[in-house]
Structure 1
């Protein structure tokens, strides 16, 4: 996540005119005027198309569960109210199987200094796209360097997209050659200081840009990534692909003082954007939905529950309102009230996929810890029903697999198959990815486990100094020791006091 944030103001009795924009890849909720929102959505689609073209990403049809949901908030203050006090961000992105979400503010064009709101969202969305390959091995510098490379793209009025502009906020690190060298990055060095962390972004961008435009080194990045995919240590893969790393450092230093080239992607067909004004009930519940989709903290639950129940009492026939009520009740671990609210939503809209999933999650929550005494057939029935309603939604598949773990039962072949397909649909969800790795290791499928595990270890936001068992698990996989790798991962889970399936 880049350092930047948002906030949600309480809605006044005269509810703001919230609109929803739907495109092929995005669902956007905003108080922008429809014409402005349409332009905003079109730019995002143009950006998506440009990245896919340059990177060669596939573009399969998506259902709502796979689209990125964006909450466009009134200002940065609203964004920041959604974050812990110690965090200061202008926007953020949450990758998860239940549907990736981003919280931004398009109204604040500049976020202070040289950071722009559109660049922030483009940076985070590039992360989202990079993980569309569930087994893509990524180094930390490549994760952030690529996001910076595409993040500064400019969408032109005619629909063309220019890519490769330098991140102005990183200029000092690039020009003064601060922090990590290119050799450090390629060899997998982990940042320990703020300057080193900054250089992962800045030097990562510089290295990414250089390799993208330098014809003499064409193909080297691919060889490097393929080496990581085979489980080679970072340093070995780097030398095999790039040769003398000190020579590469010299080339990068010279390159950083020159004028940078930009790549222009020609405009494609005009994106389709569907815009509708939200109902009065949807607008009234939007502040509660935003907070719920962000994830409710225990301290927030009493106030949010009270306000959500009050809104639901005013709009008892609005399934969108009732679905949020069900989610709030579930967040407070009031499982049967959550089931009741979901049932009310489904009575009004039998195809409401969110209410189906929430009911399944509530039934799963109620069944946990009861072992054979729980009605697992009923729990799974609702998750199967949700899957049939949207076969391309990762969450019901993942939850179905989790029911076997919660019941202390061995997952069936169908449950395992569903887990792996959920991973294909939502490779950005790290919790889901961990479960895939664990299942692969349990079944002795070490190469597949390693491919799924590599992006976890490369994640620059995971502090491996605090989680050394992850590195141990990687080393065990590279040594073809499935049992040792699985044991290390389990110790990591226990140390974090987290349930592997949560």
Structure 2
């Protein structure tokens, strides 16, 4: 887990609110008007993405919506993130049933979209395209596309404009490092460049994506490029066939940048953006919210030990608050106190039988206990009980399906077909959590089921935030395509997936 510095306690005047809509849950110490407008703009952006990509995503289950925590400023964002650049305007962590984004307060209603909003829209674009199964391209394409969509504008008169200039990248485009198309298309050069001049690479990726999307003379070339890649054509050859002379393409990009870039209005296919339900948090929920944000963002063992003391103090002040007791259960799990976590979760459920997070934390704690139990079969059967209760409350929650699958693997048993099918369904419910595909692909490899393993690994290979697992997936996909067969090959590829440096 990433380190998280402490946030100050909620001031007495804090007025934390929850804005709940079809695809988002937002928690913010903000006025109702700004928060409602912020939520509505996010839903409008989601609808515009659906219209432009020709996608009609099913509404996510309540827990699979993106939870957005709005904090006071960028310093608080950096404290929650724990590490990274000195200036950070937001971060996003995709997890089944618990995806979060953290941003500083976004002031809506201005002439231009605030930069923290741009960061959030960029990350939500990845989240959306992953959910839609459309995030299948090289890094420059995924990042350039996210920049293209995230440069959205929300006019005061209403509606949404897309395809405008990425104002936050203009300085890097005009005065930053000179990045060529060849640099973008070469994966190694791209990754090296991102380490030294990320702004310039993001900026040039946006420009290339925008130009190939908009220029009449280049119409259809990007689709041809992606099609070639999907057939296994090498990246350099795919670029040569689709784009021709890359030096000429560079010259065209420079000319295109000098021209005015105007946005276009998008009319979502669905009328309206759906209702936004506003709720003011009570005194107990408001008091525990900064601690909840710290826990959800990730804590080290030392920070978990300190955090749990603070949550216990609040639980003593608010012993009848189910949300506070649920947060206590989560803090106890983080601190390694499983029996205390179970007790806190039980008290929360007794006060509020629909307290979703209490069931989740109780399940986590019991699974961790089951791994050390003498009678592991009985312990894992008992550990599934909170998750089964959770599935009755929320039928599309992915965690019961995930933990049912792992309850067999952790005992060294072959999961039955229905458990494997359940894991497949969990991936459909939470396709943005690539760890699920990774786990299932490893299982398929050990069964020498190479087509199903490849199906999931191909999605991981192009994840812009995949890091280690994306590189591992690319290596394994390459070996499957080279003709892997047999049980020994399956075991070797599973080992390679878990440690891509393990094999030559």
For normalisation by structure 1, the TM-score amounts to 0.88
Q: Compared with structure 1, are the counterparts of its residues 397 and 180 closer, same or farther at alpha carbon in structure 2 (3 Å cutoff)? A: farther
**1:211-290 aligned within 5 A:** 211-266=212-267, 268-269=271-272, 271-290=274-293
Q: Which moved more, 1:297-306 or 1:245-254?
A: 245-254
Q: What is the rounded CA distance, in whole Å, between the counterparts of 1:232 and 1:96 in structure 2?
A: 32
Unmatched tracts of structure 2, length 5 or more: none
Q: 1:166 Cα deviation (Å)?
A: 2.5
The answer on whether the counterparts of 1:423 and 1:436 sit within 8 Å (CA) in structure 2 is no
Q: What is the rounded CA distance, in whole Å, between the counterparts of 2:300 and 2:147 in structure 1?
A: 31
The answer on whether the counterparts of 2:441 and 2:453 sit within 8 Å (CA) in structure 1 is yes
Q: What is the rounded CA distance, in whole Å, between the counterparts of 2:374 and 2:168 in structure 1?
A: 54
The residue number in structure 1 matching 2:302 is: 299
Q: Compared with structure 1, are the counterparts of its residues 422 and 311 closer, same or farther at alpha carbon in structure 2 (3 Å cutoff)? A: same
The answer on whether the counterparts of 1:206 and 1:256 sit within 8 Å (CA) in structure 2 is yes
The residue number in structure 2 matching 1:64 is: 62
Q: Does 1:415 align with 2:414?
A: no
Give CA-to-partner distance per residue, 1:177-222, whole Å, 9 cap, x none: 8444224433434321445543431121011101221233333323
Report SS of the residue matched to 1:69: strand
Q: Does 1:340 align with 2:343?
A: yes
The answer on whether the counterparts of 2:441 and 2:457 sit within 8 Å (CA) in structure 1 is yes
Q: What is the rounded CA distance, in whole Å, between the counterparts of 1:7 and 1:260 in structure 2?
A: 43
The residue number in structure 1 matching 2:192 is: 192
Q: What is the rounded CA distance, in whole Å, between the counterparts of 1:436 and 1:122 in structure 2?
A: 29
Q: What is the rounded CA distance, in whole Å, between the counterparts of 2:65 and 2:476 in structure 1?
A: 32
Q: Which moved more, 1:142-151 or 1:391-400?
A: 391-400
For normalisation by structure 2, the TM-score amounts to 0.88
Q: 1:108 Cα deviation (Å)?
A: 7.0
Q: What is the rounded CA distance, in whole Å, between the counterparts of 1:308 and 1:246 in structure 2?
A: 59
Report SS of the residue matched to 1:154: coil
Q: 1:52 Cα deviation (Å)?
A: 1.7
RMSD, aligned CA? 3.0
Q: What is the rounded CA distance, in whole Å, between the counterparts of 1:142 and 1:150 in structure 2?
A: 12
The residue number in structure 2 matching 1:95 is: 94
Q: What is the rounded CA distance, in whole Å, between the counterparts of 1:18 and 1:136 in structure 2?
A: 35
Q: What is the rounded CA distance, in whole Å, between the counterparts of 1:177 and 1:102 in structure 2?
A: 29
The answer on whether the counterparts of 1:330 and 1:362 sit within 8 Å (CA) in structure 2 is yes
The residue number in structure 2 matching 1:500 is: none
Q: 1:159 Cα deviation (Å)?
A: 2.4
Aligned length: 488
Report SS of the residue matched to 1:72: strand
Q: Compared with structure 1, are the counterparts of its residues 433 and 371 closer, same or farther at alpha carbon in structure 2 (3 Å cutoff)? A: farther
Give CA-to-partner distance per residue, 1:350-408, whole Å, 9 cap, x none: 22222112111111111114475352211223322322322222222222212122111
Report SS of the residue matched to 1:391: coil
Q: Which moved more, 1:120-129 or 1:484-493?
A: 484-493
Give CA-to-partner distance per residue, 1:451-501, whole Å, 9 cap, x none: 43234333444556x99655432321221326657635534535899xxxx
Q: 1:106 Cα deviation (Å)?
A: 1.8
The residue number in structure 1 matching 2:42 is: 44
Q: 1:226 Cα deviation (Å)?
A: 3.3
Q: 1:132 Cα deviation (Å)?
A: 0.8
Q: Compared with structure 1, are the counterparts of its residues 207 and 37 closer, same or farther at alpha carbon in structure 2 (3 Å cutoff)? A: same
Give CA-to-partner distance per residue, 1:123-182, whole Å, 9 cap, x none: 111111111134742210111111111112111123221112222343244346844422
Q: Compared with structure 1, are the counterparts of its residues 394 and 218 closer, same or farther at alpha carbon in structure 2 (3 Å cutoff)? A: farther
Q: Does 1:376 align with 2:380?
A: yes
Unmatched tracts of structure 1, length 5 or more: 498-502
The answer on whether the counterparts of 2:458 and 2:474 sit within 8 Å (CA) in structure 1 is no
Q: 1:263 Cα deviation (Å)?
A: 2.1
Q: Compared with structure 1, are the counterparts of its residues 38 and 6 closer, same or farther at alpha carbon in structure 2 (3 Å cutoff)? A: farther
Give CA-to-partner distance per residue, 1:314-359, whole Å, 9 cap, x none: 2122111111111111111211111111111111122222211211
Q: Compared with structure 1, are the counterparts of its residues 142 and 451 closer, same or farther at alpha carbon in structure 2 (3 Å cutoff)? A: farther
Give CA-to-partner distance per residue, 1:233-287, whole Å, 9 cap, x none: 3234333433444443333232223222322113752541110111221111111
The answer on whether the counterparts of 1:140 and 1:200 sit within 8 Å (CA) in structure 2 is no
Q: What is the rounded CA distance, in whole Å, between the counterparts of 1:279 and 1:177 in structure 2?
A: 48
The answer on whether the counterparts of 1:175 and 1:257 sit within 8 Å (CA) in structure 2 is no
Q: Compared with structure 1, are the counterparts of its residues 233 and 426 closer, same or farther at alpha carbon in structure 2 (3 Å cutoff)? A: farther
Q: Which moved more, 1:39-48 or 1:452-461?
A: 452-461
Q: 1:47 Cα deviation (Å)?
A: 1.5
